[in-house]
Structure 1
Amino acid sequence: MTMATMPRRTVLMGVGMAAAWAASPARALLAQAAARTTTLPPAVEALIAQMTVEEKAGQVTLMAAAWAGGAATALNPAGAASSFEGQLAEVRAGRLGGVFNGNGAVMARRMQTVAMREARLKIPLIFAADVIHGLRTVFPVPLAEAASFDPELARRTARAAGAEAAASGIDWTFAPMVDVARDARWGRGVEGAGEDVLLGRVMAAARVRGFQGDRGLAAPDAVAACAKHFAAYGAGEGGLDYNSVDVSERTLREVYFPPFESAFAAGAPTTMASFNEIAGVPATANEWLLTEVLRREWGFDGLVVSDYTGDEELIAHGFAADAREATRLAFMAGVDMSMQSAFYIKHLPGLVAAGEVPMARLDQAVRRVLALKVQLGLFDDPFRRIDSKREKARVRTPATLALAQEAGARSIVMLKNDGVLPLPTTGKKIALIGPFAGGQHDLIGPWNVYGTDAEAVDLEMGVRAIVRDAASVSVTAGSGIDDALPGGIDAAVVAARAADVVVLAIGESQRMSGEAQSRVDVVVPAAQVALAQAVAATGKPVVVLLRTGRALALTEPVLGASAILVTWFLGSRDGPAIADVLFGRVGPSARLPVSFPYATGQEPYHYDHKSTGRPNPPGPLAEYKAHYREFPNQARFAFGHGLTYGTIDYAALDLGSARMSADTPLVARATIRNSGARAAEEVVQLYVHDVTASITQPVRLLKAFQRVSLAPGEAKQVSFTLRRADLLFVGQDLKPVVEPGRFRVWIAPSAQADGVSGEFVLA
């Protein structure tokens, strides 16, 4: 199924993609891609025979740019690179294959000029960067954009980000992150698509296509994608970053592998080994993962790069005794290129000389690096993406900024609304209160190297630009993010009492999400809860705006607000995007890509959990059933939940004969009606439960979704086609299997909503 051929407002993810994977055509695509990447032009192939062992080791060495760009020095310090001149010397000597997170086209031109004029073999460098959700134009963080349930939107923003990156001299981005994340405590969930496998797959594929474009990697506006982190990084114990992972092979194959397979099928030519271990073997030295599964089983023959000092960390893991052994273990397991440790340039020549690393393996890795450079067109024109004039002309254009605003508005999830929203643009006094009510901070989110909050538009500016009378808006911080402000609550109460409605902007700072930002308690900080309590006590209607990079466990008084919007970190046009939804210029249409728990103690929580042998029956919590003392085994706000400015009703489920066979699919239909007074865009979701199987099955699994636009009073029939292969699961022998029997099906607005439901039989 080719996503690019599907109309945006019809089925954005049809059922059948999982079946296609199990039936292996995607693996055939990988095999074809492998053949392409390993076929080098004769002149490039000849270079391998001319290289010294040290020059070969240089090609598989990647270092942080000593002349770093933006926030790169803080995010990834250059480490062993002592100076820019020192890196130029390494280039001249053929001891460096590329750099990452450098300072734009000027820096890249200087380095590439040295490589092409002064190095012996004149092999072009590759320039990489962490372009996670934008370069200078910053789009919503990936978790927020996943809330749009709109892979075409993700493709468009990745396309814009890729073009902007390419205009800045970048060839390769370390994105998309396709880790499934089911523990809200883990900070890096903000970089992915949430807890669901299907949503993760379609977003992974869309972002790869977006970064790389449709004209081939050699196009000057294309950048190579890198699916990361392989694999199961999001399953770290306790939600602790870099932590151990111990999951079954079945869970790897059902949950953590599929988004990578989709990314590779979409054309991603590279992947990054993850920091974590799996069942005692670090991924960076995991031969089963990197060679047996990735290479032999899937047929992938692209480039595998380590994460930042991932090979060096084998020593701290207790898996390697020293740097030399760490180099051998990582390289022989299948890591082709070492990032940042410099272990490969230091130790591969000696390992080859000692016979511990075969020359054939080194040549294989070098060939993969050169193949990527060939694909990117660097041997044809090493300067094809290095143009300072183009860099200035193509970053932060009106078109990309407009797209950032559109994407931001389409990423906002409305959890609750008692009718206070949308706000009128005139006739109401509005008090913006909270640490995020104004000021250019905490707008673009974590892990952005080149964009800045100073270039982004905040909530105050966005609101003042849309109301008729800017004087009707007051702005009061009320508290800090973690700490109270002297007199802050008193000032906030005065502002609230003078207003007709309060817009309370609270939540996480962007430093609370992202790498190394695991949290033991996924709640709104106490100082902000105290502020919310005081504002609620005024009796004024309160609209809560939640700034966050993860699911949060919400409590009173936040839950008692008149309306709650999850606004995430929306990037360059954060404030205007929020204002568009607040005032009804854009109706909320996003859905939660992660479950919001009742309490942190439920984590890790995901909607597609198993029932256990003692599920709680419908109704009150019962003794000796699978739930906590305080809460049901459910989410407070479920995966897929999100309200619109319409009133949406589900009715008239039609399953036809309610029978499916190998030759006869099941068509499930339902009527979706907007009985409200405002237009709405509904995300209609199809879930299935296999009632009895040889492997216990989740209580629900998302199989497809559609976006449906409904005018006031309009009704539309929505249909989904399920085929036998859509019901595959990983059987007891770890191979795909389909078993006859009863299945329950829901067409519903969330993973916990009833919508309309029924049963069918697979013969």
Structure 2
Amino acid sequence: MNSNQLKQLLSNMTIEEKIGQMVQLAGEFYKEEDSENTGPMHEMNLSAGKMATIGSVLGISGAQTLIAIQKEHLAKSRLGIPLLFMADVIHGYRTIFPISLGMACAWDPNLIEESAAIAAKEAAVSGLHVTFAPMVDLVRDARWGRVMESTGEDPYLNQLYARAFVKGYQGKNLATDKFSIAACIKHFAGYGAPVAGREYNTVELSERTLRDMYLPAYQAGIDEGSKLVMTAFNSLDGVPATANKRLMRDILRKEFGFEGVLISDWAAVGEMIPHGIAENLKEAGKLAIEAGVDIEMMTGAYLNYLNELIDEGEIAETLIDEAVWRVLTLKNDLGLFEDPYRGANSAEEKAIVFSQEHREKARGMAEESMVLLKNKEQILPLSIHQKVALIVPEGQAKDVLGAWSWKGQQNESVSLYEGLLQHIPKESIVLKTIADAQKEIKADWLADLADVDIIVAVVGESSYMSGEGASRSNIKLPSEQIQLIKKLRTLDKPIVATLFNGRPLDLTDIIQDVDSILEAWFPGTEAGSAVANLLYGKKNPSGKLTMSFPRAVGQVPLYYNQDNTGRPLTALNQEDKFLSRYLDVDNSPLFPFGYGLSYTYFKYSPMEVTLTRSPKSQEDEVRIEVMITNSGKLAGTEVVQLYIRDKVGKVVRPIKELKRFKKVSLEPSESTIVAFNLNKLDFEYTHQDLSVSVESGEFDLMIGPNSEELEINTVYLTFKKSE
């Protein structure tokens, strides 16, 4: 439709039809066994007449099913307005990629984009139009279960990944690319900073911190063209996001220029009542529409009370019209008025979904995402001539997909045992479960391992232990896993700990008892193949952490880009008590942001810094060069990282800020020069009055393989004063 046709459609709609477009129902409402008098329909006061006006559905898929639902809906819709089908396609549809936190550790936005494009292709042929992804919330607290769905603690990286996900899902043209789906940036805003790491909890952020650290990734995804934004569950400055007019209308709409659809999270409108800012559902609906929420997901406030609020003069019908216009525009952008069955194709679904090509891509992504945290005396890579003891948690051999793997099938995933069999015969593997270690005859159990050369122990979390609603106050390994490692240590054999988990863990209890640690995250469909390829050196680990690992849970929130204090702990005052420090643990993380080992070694030359004056702005620009040499015996890939520090600002500045990185692959003895360019925009920050600028002065430039092992070069940079 063209714009005039769309406007005509809107003008022909009744108020009931308009309100229906603003309502999203779960797929269960479209199951044959439901009727007007039973189940959810009765609870939401939903009649067959109202069903004919509904605008969107979530959480149901399958080409044949969605074509049938759409066909039936169009037959009942007076104006023939098609449904939107949405779902949580987070790190893959049926072919499951690593969790988002794992994918982020590849430090490769192009791979993120490719993974999103594959997920979109599988989802689109299965009938879906929209994914509730990406989640771009910055995270600093590993207790929060949803860190697994994030890309980490750094605003610069999060911006790059937000753009990559949106580009991958949406492709170049939603209307003409049937293999694309619309993206939804979430959760606006600050959802990743709940107090005490507890799911759905209050968020306390200063406006400056919100703007410098948290908002940039949302804005990047919006600038890339994300068609939707989802409101957060949390309150911010005392107001739940779904009712936060300043957040949604002033910042999202006016400042960021977002013109797409704003959708609530599941039942978030109704949750204003327990939040304590709405007395009932009617009042909650009023607050949500005034804040600019276009689609209400699953509470019935819009469906049952918007018309009444208009009749009472509590809200203007123009609020309804602007919301419906955005919903209709999204449907038009997807080409649904021309083809309401857009993309859905049973034959293509069978050929494309979970194809071998997609599985190979998932394996490659998993290999890139894994981080080698420890490798004492180069225990890894393994030799195919070694006999291996493989110890896995009982019942979790195929629990490798992680939370939010909606259509992924555990029984289709590759276990680590199956992965090892791709390299060595089954006679070279002694397979045991952790439950075996709990049996009474422990001596016999250990005796079975007497002739193995190396022990590979799978430890970490079950998928149930991370994700939404999975906050943990104790982020250590389960006690039985710690006890197992202690018992295995008595055998005096090398131990490789392979971690399957959805968050940074406190590994202090085992760090001295294992020789190697491979952080595999939840790697997805091809987990076992990817892990085994790294263990045997078919792939050299190159992943780097995008979230710090603590020494103790008492350190969290823990992040590399923290502000300095008036009494900082330094290398020169370690014995002083009256500093910003702990008495019982170091301030530093166990494994810092940006950290990751390789089977080879990379040598960094001293950095060379060149200052130039821009002819246009008459302000300093900086070029930093460093030569990287692979000084080991294997080909490998290094992520070269550049950080800055503003030594004296108008407000306290972070001790380090990532500004650039480059991933380089080198053969043994090969060298390359890595160069970075910075200008004024890279140094600007938010001031106390919320203006954005930077002052002339001294800046530390830091380069290295992670956020702690850095060469520092201090320069004086001249910038014009802001007017």
* TM-score of the two chains, using structure 2 as the length reference: 0.95
Q: Secondary structure at the match of 1:345?
A: helix
The aligned runs of 1:105-504 (5 Å cut-off) are 105-435=63-393, 440-467=397-424, 469-479=425-435, 485-487=438-440, 490=443, 493-504=446-457
**Residues 513 and 550 in structure 1, CA contact (< 8 A), matched pair in contact too:** yes
Comparing 224-233 and 413-422, the one that deviates more = 413-422
SS in 1 for 2:192: helix
- SS across alignment from 2:114: helix
User: Bigger CA drift: 619-628 or 180-189?
Assistant: 619-628
Match of 1:510 among 463, 467, 472: 463
Partners of 1:603 and 1:706 in 2: CA distance:
29
CA contact (8 A) 2:612 2:620 kept: no
2:590 to 618, 630, 636: 636
Q: Which moved more, 1:140-149 or 1:651-660?
A: 651-660
Letter in 2 for 1:622: D
Q: In the comparison of the two structures, how many residue pairs are matched?
A: 710
Q: Does 1:647 align with 2:601?
A: yes
Name the SS of the counterpart of 2:703 in structure 1: strand
- Deviation of 1:92 after TM superposition, in Å, equals 5.5
1:637, distance to aligned residue in structure 2 (A): 0.3
Cα offset, 1:419, TM superposition? 3.6
Q: CA deviation at 1:617?
A: 1.8
Output the CA distance in 2 between the equivalents of 1:559 and 1:110.
Answer: 58
Deviation at 1:439, TM superposition (A): 5.3
- 1:699 — aligned with what? 655
2:603 maps to amino acid: D
Distance 1:478 1:491 in 2: 14
Residue ranges of structure 2 left out of the alignment (5+ in a row): 719-723
Q: Structure 1: how far apart are the matches of 2:442 and 2:151?
A: 36
Deviation at 1:106, TM superposition (A): 2.2
**Is the counterpart of residue 759 in structure 1 residue 714 in structure 2?**
yes
Q: Does the aligned pair in 2 maintain the 1:190–1:549 contact within 8 Å?
A: yes
Q: 1:509 to 1:82 in 2, by over 3 A?
A: farther
Deviation per CA, 1:597-656, whole angstroms, max 9, x where unpaired? 110000111100011011112153532111111222221100000011111122221113
Q: Secondary structure at the match of 1:708?
A: strand
Structural mapping, 1:667-706, within 5 Å:
667-706=623-662
Whichever residue aligns with residue 656 of structure 2, its letter is: R
Is the CA contact (8 Å cut-off) linking 2:485 and 2:514 kept in structure 1?
no
1:722 pairs with one of 663, 670, 678: 678
Distance 1:559 1:308, change over 3 A: farther
2:626 and 2:97 map into 1 onto residues whose CA distance is: 34
Query: Offset of 1:576 from its aligned partner?
Result: 0.3
Q: Tell me the percent identity.
A: 38
- Check conservation: 1:67, 1:107, Cα contact below 8 A: no
C-alpha distance in 2 between matches for 1:271 and 1:391 = 28
- Residue type of the partner of 1:654? E
Query: How much does 1:490 deviate?
Result: 4.8
Corresponding position: 1:93 with 2:52: yes
The question of whether the paired residues in 2 share the 8 Å contact of 1:439 and 1:460 is answered with no
Change in Cα spacing, 1:540 to 1:133, as seen in structure 2 (3 Å) is: same
- Residue 554 (structure 1) shift: 1.0
Q: 1:116 to 1:618 in 2, by over 3 A?
A: same
Unaligned stretches of 5+ residues in structure 1:
1-38
The structural deviation recorded for 1:217 is 4.3
Deviation of 1:757 (Å): 1.8
Residue range with higher mean Cα deviation, 287-296 or 658-667: 658-667
Q: Is the 8 A contact 1:308 1:340 kept in 2?
A: yes
Separation in structure 2 between the aligned mates of residue 53 and residue 601 of structure 1, nearest angstrom: 54
Q: Quick check: 556-565 or 115-124, which moved more? A: 556-565
Per the alignment, residue 576 of structure 2 pairs with: 622
Distance 1:68-1:722 versus aligned 2 partners, 3 A rule: farther
SS of the equivalent of 2:557 reads: coil
User: Secondary structure in 2 aligned to 1:565?
Assistant: strand
Q: Deviations over 1:140-187 (max 9, x none)?
A: 000000010111000000000001000100000000000001000000
The alpha carbon displacement at 1:494 in A equals: 2.9
Q: Which amino acid aligns with 1:736?
A: V
Q: Which residue of 1 aligns with 2:721?
A: none
d(CA) in 1 for partners of 2:520, 2:161:
19
SS of the aligned residue for 2:606 comes to: strand
Aligned residue type for 1:762:
L
CA separation of 1:368 and 1:753: change in aligned 2, threshold 3 A: same
Return closer, same or farther for 1:694/1:594 CA change in 2, 3 Å cut-off: same
For residues 535 and 342 of structure 1, the distance between their equivalents in structure 2, rounded to whole angstroms, comes to 56
Q: Matched residue of 1:66: which SS?
A: helix
1:22 alignment counterpart: none
Whole-angstrom distance in 1 between the partners of 2:506 and 2:309: 51
Deviation at 1:384, TM superposition (A): 1.6
The letter of the residue matching 2:527 is: D
Q: Is the 8 A contact 1:187 1:241 kept in 2?
A: yes
Shift of 1:117: 2.0
Structure 2 CA distance for aligned equivalents of residues 492 and 68 of structure 1: 53
Q: Deviation digits for residues 303-347 of structure 1, max 9, x if unmatched?
A: 100000000000010010000000000111111100011221111
Report the CA distance between 1:450 and its aligned residue.
0.9
Of 572, 595, 610, 1:656 maps to 610
Deviations 1:7-56 (A, max 9, x none): xxxxxxxxxxxxxxxxxxxxxxxxxxxxxxxx953222212222221111
Judged with a 3 Å threshold, the aligned counterparts in structure 2 of structure 1 residues 758 and 389 are, in CA distance, closer, same or farther, namely: same
Residues 440, 478 of structure 1: alpha-carbon distance in 2 compared, 3 angstrom cutoff = closer
Question: CA distance change for structure 1 residues 522 and 712 in 2, over 3 Å: closer, same or farther?
Answer: same
On the 8 A contact 1:127/1:170 being kept in 2, the answer is yes
Matches within 5 A, 1:34-45: 41-45=3-7
Identify the match of residue 493 of structure 2 among 528, 540, 547: 540
Q: 1:556, CA displacement in angstroms?
A: 3.3
For residue 669 of structure 2, what is the aligned residue in structure 1?
Answer: 713
* Alignment partner, residue 27 of structure 2: 65
- For residues 470 and 407 of structure 1, the distance between their equivalents in structure 2, rounded to whole angstroms, comes to 27
Q: Secondary structure at the match of 1:497?
A: coil
Paired residues for 1:555-566 under 5 Å: 555-566=508-519
- Cα deviation for residue 428 of structure 1 reads 0.7
- Cα drift, residue 91 of structure 1: 6.6
RMSD over aligned Cα, in angstroms?
2.2
TM-score by length of structure 1 reads 0.90
